[in-house]
Amino acid sequence: MRIATWNVNSVRSRIDRVTAFLERHDIDVLAIQETKCREDQFPGLELSAMGYEFAHRGLSQWNGVAIISRVGLDDVATQFADDQPMFGDPEIVEARSIGATCGGVRVWSLYVPNGRELGHPHYDYKLQWLERLRQASAQWLADDPTAQIALTGDWNVIPTDDDVWDVTAFEGKTHVSQPERDAFHAVVDAGYADVVRPFTPGPGVYTYWDYQQLAFPKKRGLRIDFVLASQALASRVETAWIDREERKGKGASDHAPVIVELSEM
């Protein structure tokens, strides 16, 4: 079974790339982030015609997450916790998480808050969001240590200095601060391993390149998109890769997809 995660930066403007990606890599389950549309606007007809089911959480032109699967899509949840942190005026639970069981794997598509600036209310929201996710993720494994769980998505955290083209360019900025890195590693320590890194060793391996200032051809990227897997799922990982080719050309998302190949059970 092959699962992937990809911040598509608008699913409506990118649907042809999404369907081509599913075919090119023979993907069974795709978690996407930043759909940037409401549920009634989701371009699902082409996916259905290809034999995929989908579940989408989208409230407005911001955020939005979905799971696309051809191996089942059960027990859909649009929050990882009843008390998931809220943001906005008025405060709402934003469309940043959706979970579903696909082919025996509990898959989460996660879009971690960006944080905007150190000290910004959005930064505190980001840290609270990650901590609440850690709590929920730890509880799932406490309930069933053999559960196959994939925490996938855009984490908006640069976990180590090897995961950014020049860490000095990020001094005083979000994504590299110690509280953010600690919050990310706390999820890992709860029992969820980065199953892609062993197959894509760095430095210089990234999943995101800014649209501005020729970041992609200049290889100025960040590694912020991850598949974190519970032990039972991690033991099934045969290989993984980042589809850097998808970042090329006109109409590319600023993020590249990340793919994990699992052995059959």
Partner DNA sequence: ATGGTCGATATTCGA
Cα gap 218→248, rounded to integer Å: 13
In 70-172, which ranges are E strands? Answer: 74-77, 97-102, 105-111, 149-154
Q: From the list 9, 109, 152, 207, which residue makes contact with DNA (rule: CB under 7 A)? A: 9
One of 28, 56, 111, 208 is an active-site residue; which one? 111
Per CB under 7 A, 155 contacts DNA: no
Binding mask of the shown chain, residues 101 to 140, with x at each position contacting DNA by CB under 7 A: ------------xx-x-----x------------------
Q: In this structure, what token pair is assigned to residue 176?
A: 């590299």
CB count in 10 Å sphere of residue 250: 4
Residue 154 annotated as lining a ligand binding site: yes
Cα gap 150→262, rounded to integer Å: 12
56 is catalytic: no
Angle of helix 121-143 relative to helix 178-189, nearest 10 degrees, comes to 10
Q: From the list 1, 25, 41, 241, which residue makes contact with DNA (rule: CB under 7 A)? A: 41
Judged by CB under 7 A, the chain residues 199 through 258 that form the site for DNA are 210-214, 216-217, 248-251
Expressed in angstroms, the distance from the first to the final Cα of the chain is 9
Residue 34 annotated as lining a ligand binding site: yes
- State in angstroms the smallest separation of the CB of 188 from DNA: 22
3-state helix, strand, coil in the chain (%, to 5): 30, 25, 45
One of 56, 125, 154, 192 is an active-site residue; which one? 154
Would you tell me which residues interact with DNA (CB under 7 A)?
A: 9-10, 12-13, 36-38, 41, 60-62, 113-114, 116, 122, 156, 210-214, 216-217, 248-251
Residue numbers annotated as active site: 111, 154, 255
Binding-site residues, in ranges, read 7, 34, 154, 156, 254-255
